[in-house]
Amino acid sequence: MALSKPKIPGIAQHFLECGTEDCERNCEFYCNSCHHQMCKPCRDQHLKIPEHKNHEVVLYQQRRRQLPVKKCKIHPTKDIDIFCEECNVPLCSKCSTMQDHRWHQFFDLEIIYTEKFEICHKELSKIHNYFVPTSEDLQREVQEDATEVKQIMDSIRTSMKAEAESLKNMVDTVLSENMEELNQIEKSLLEKLKSQEKTFDDYIAYFSDLVQEFQSYLSSTELTNFTTKLPENLEVKSIPKTTKPVTPEFSPAQYSKEDVDKLLGKITVTNRKAKLRRVEPIEIASFSTSEQTKQDKDMKSDKKQTLSLSVSVTKVREFNVLSVNNVCHVSQDQSDKLWISDSKGNLVQTDLQGNVIQKIETNGGSKGYHTVTQDRDLIFTDQDKKVISRITQDNNITEFIKTGDWRPYSIHSSHINGDLLVGMVKSGRAKVTRYNKTGKELQNIRRDNNGQELYNYPHYITENINGDICTSDFDKCAVVVMNKSGQYRFSYTGQESLFSPFGICTDVLGHILVCDSNRNTVHLLDQDGQFLSLLLTKQQGVKYPRCVCVDDENNLYVGQYHTNTLTVYKYLQ
């Protein structure tokens, strides 16, 4: 029977109201002297009362916690409200006058209680808002890794069986050829022996005739037969010479288990040290109170729910990117870093001011050939070598996918599950292939439901929030969209002729944004491919837009082919 997962009790949340009778305004302040919560108007009235002028009124978040009422065992009419530091015990004020506590130092128990309460509250907040969610995320990651391990092991088993079947087929072929050769040798030897057998048949028949002749002489009474017919020097034909057959020999192969291992392949376990699972650091400042944490989360959720298209697009800023000739593709690394490439194979990492952090030389060209994973690894394609490489955070470069005869042009790392979507071309044909995070091929998309080729030149690719695969195809003059199962959804071919789609991206609302380099515009579509607007046009200073990217703060980055400038816009509110 499976054990149920232990539940962590939650922290109760409530709406804070002013404690003044008949006042329904929100609570903002707290009087530590009389332990009363109040709104700003009620606070002002409270402090106007003469006997309250020395009351300590603070923000509600800075309040002291009211002590639970507990009577002193020695003085039952007194409440425990002080703390003896020397004896380390809570007392009532009357106890402090007793001989046992003479000259001891005392503290306000309410202050100590508030401090301890806040410590417990912060720790509870950490548990609920960091440790438990992080542990659950890591547990899900472990479960995903277990599923992935099973898939990899099944793949290895399939490969091993295929190798064994291939070897078995080769053994059967060699055995069949050897058997046929042996049959031919046997046939030739038997034919020779058959010929020799006939030679002796003829020789024996010769003696039969000769015996009959001699018998005729012996049975005759005529002497003349012996004298005239019987030869004086009778010679019998000599016995024919024949050869014994030379049979072939079989030399058994001398092989060992190691030889078979070489033929079938071996299982190897890497010596690489296992990487620690990534755990985001705890931000102490974010755990002031559980109420504040909840408010922050609610604000973010509300912000996303209320996002909509702005009436107009606003240019926020722009910056030049050093070490590139033009801007052909941009991938967000993290909130303050970008990867940017040009048509000459220069791929640079920059900050948001365009300062180069690192640079590498590639064979990507003017395509969407790089992407950043959820783990912040850089993935990029090499169309000449037909490989996909990974650069990890410690700058370790590996070629982890080989695409065979297919040239990988465009690539995108899914923000949903970490899969890689790759647009590839071979001999006039094109496809989109899905790989998992380890490089295992999961899906190939080439044709629609009617068997028609979907792609000609998939040079930019991205994924929408619903899992749709959105591909910019220059030769087809279209944006081709498939669902996550590889079923055709729709194509967008622009608003006028000569639609030239290049860079493509999606946003948090499911919009599709695509550059039309020929018309100097950026088109905005909804999730189902309906045209919404020309988000940017030549009148706004856009010329040859080549790539687009929307960051986590909903800023739109636009790169243009003729310049190394990135322009940042706001189009959501």
Q: What is the CATH number of the domain that holds 484?
A: 2.120.10.30
pLDDT score, position 1: 37
Q: Over 70: is that where the pLDDT of 29 sits?
A: yes
Considering the domain architecture, whether residues 132 and 217 belong to the same structural domain is answered as yes
In three-state secondary structure terms, 323 is: coil
Cα–Cα–Cα angle for 266, 268, 273, nearest 5°? 175
Note whether 130 and 99 are same-domain residues. no
* CA 502 – CA 410 distance, rounded (Å): 11
Residue 322 contacts residue 355 (beta carbons within 8 Å): yes
Among residues 178, 185, 308, 172, the alpha carbon closest in space to that of 251 is found at 178
Tell me if 197 is assigned to some domain.
yes
d(CA 295, CA 178): 81
Confidence label for 573 from pLDDT (cuts 50, 70 and 90) = confident
Mean pLDDT for the stretch of residues 37-59:
89
| Residues 515, 522 contacting (CB under 8 angstroms) | yes
| pLDDT of 71 higher than 50 | yes
pLDDT tens digits, one per residue of 427-470: 889 999 999 988 999 899 998 878 889 999 999 999 999 999 99
Predicted confidence (pLDDT) at residue 229 exceeds the cutoff of 80: no
478-482: strand order across its sheet:
458-463, 469-473, 478-482, 488-492
**107 and 147, same structural domain?**
no
CA distance 546 to 542: 10
**Total structural domains within the chain:** 3
Helix (H) or strand (E) holding 262: helix 257-264
Residues 265 and 302 in one domain: yes
Domain-terminating residue out of 116, 133, 165: 116
Q: Residue 211 belongs to what domain range?
A: 120-227+256-306
Helices (DSSP H) in 103-242: which residue ranges? 109-126, 132-219, 224
Residue 511 lies in a domain: yes
* 370 and 410 co-located in one domain: yes
The CATH number of the domain where 102 resides is what? Answer: 3.30.160.60
The model's pLDDT over 162-217, given as tens digits with 9 standing for 90+, comes to 888 888 988 899 899 999 999 999 999 999 999 999 999 999 998 888 888 778 77
Residues 370 and 385: their CA atoms lie apart, in Å, by: 15
Q: Is 70 helix (H, G, I), strand (E, B) or coil?
A: coil
Give yes or no for a contact between 383 and 409, defined as CB atoms under 8 angstroms apart: yes
Hey, which residues does 424 pair with through a beta bridge? 408, 431
Give SS3 for 6.
Answer: coil
Asked if residue 251 is part of any domain, the answer here is no
Is 1 part of any domain? no
Lowest mean pLDDT among 57-66, 354-363, 540-549: 57-66
Whether pLDDT at 283 is above 70: no
Classify the phi-psi angles of 276: left when phi > 0, otherwise alpha if psi is within -120 to 50, otherwise beta: beta
On whether the CB atoms of residues 463 and 469 are closer than 8 A, the answer is yes
Residues 441 and 493 in one domain: yes
pTM score, two decimals? 0.51
Alpha-carbon distance of 318 to 505, in angstroms, equals 19
268-278 per-position pLDDT tens digit? 776 667 777 77
Residues 98 and 176 occupy one common structural domain = no
**Pair 411, 420: CB distance under 8 Å:** yes
Amino acid identity of residue 293, one-letter, is T
Which candidate, 126, 108, 107, places its Cα nearest to that of 118? Answer: 126
Contact between 72 and 94 (Cβ < 8 Å):
yes
Q: Tell me, what's the pLDDT at 386? A: 94
Q: What is the CA radius of gyration of the chain?
A: 45
Q: What is the mean pLDDT of the chain?
A: 85
Residues counted in the chain: 573
Last residue of a domain, one of 116, 146, 179: 116
Residue 316 and residue 291: Cα distance in Å, rounded? 34
* DSSP β-bridge partners for residue 338: 332, 350
- Give the Cα separation of 151 and 157 in Å (integer): 10
Decide if 398 is inside a domain. yes
Q: ∠ at Cα 335 (548, 320), nearest 5°?
A: 55
| 287 and 404 fall within a common domain | no
Domain final position from 82, 100, 116: 116
Q: Is residue 282 in some structural domain?
A: yes
One domain for residues 473 and 425: yes
Contact (CB, 8 A) for 457 and 474:
yes
**Coil, helix or strand at residue 200:** helix
Range from 267-276, 395-404, 512-521 carrying the lowest mean pLDDT = 267-276
Looking at the structure, tell me whether residues 347 and 491 fall in a common domain.
yes
Query: Buried (b) or exposed (e) across 331-340, using 16+ Cβ within 10 A?
Result: bbbeeeebbb
Q: Are 538 and 501 in contact (CB under 8 A)?
A: no
Are residues 471 and 429 part of one domain? yes
Give the largest CA-CA distance in the chain: 183
The pLDDT of 406-418, averaged and rounded, is 93
In a domain, 323, yes or no: yes
Whole-number Å distance between alpha carbons of 495 and 534: 10
- What would the pLDDT profile of 293-302 be if each residue is shown by its tens digit? 444 444 444 4
**Chain centroid to CA 413: how far?**
7
Is 15 within a domain? no
DSSP state of 376: -
pLDDT number for residue 226 = 60
Q: Which residue is associated with the tokens 């409530």?
A: 14
State the number of CA atoms in the 13 A half-sphere of 43 facing the CB: 20
Residues 482 and 510 placed together within one structural domain of the fold: yes
* Residue that the structure tokens 């991205």 belong to: 462
